[in-house]
Amino acid sequence: MDCENNLCVYWEADSCILDTISIDSLGRCAACILLSIDEKTLKAGREKFLARSEDANGSLPGKPHLTGSGR
């Protein structure tokens, strides 16, 4: 079955490897076990993502794109 939670231990290639799952009252998978990511790795991933986003878009979403004099 399809799964978008790539931080779950049961996730593999956009799919859940479990045969069956249960969904809780909030629509979340009750079997999900999230992997812990240390702060150093998380920070490096954020910085890499933000740098790519700025390169592709010229600015971050929600932040104005400044040109010319910067006003």
Q: Would you say residue 64 lies in a domain?
A: no
Q: N- to C-terminal Cα distance for the chain?
A: 49
Residue 11 banded pLDDT, cuts 50, 70, 90: very high
- Domain holding 51, by residue range, is 11-57
Rounded to whole angstroms, the Cα distance separating 39 from 31 reads 25
Among the listed ranges 4-8, 19-23, 39-43, 64-68, which one has the minimum average pLDDT value?
Answer: 64-68
Q: Would you say residue 63 lies in a domain?
A: no
Lookup result for tokens 């390169």: 55
Tally of structural domains, the chain: 1
Q: Would you say residue 71 lies in a domain?
A: no
Q: Would you say residue 67 lies in a domain?
A: no
Convert the pLDDT of each residue in 12-57 to its tens digit.
999 999 999 999 999 999 999 999 999 999 999 999 999 888 766 6
What is the residue type of 33? I
pLDDT of amino acid 23: 94
Give the E-state strand segments of the chain in sequence order. Answer: 11-12, 15-16
Q: Would you say residue 2 lies in a domain?
A: no
pLDDT of amino acid 53: 80
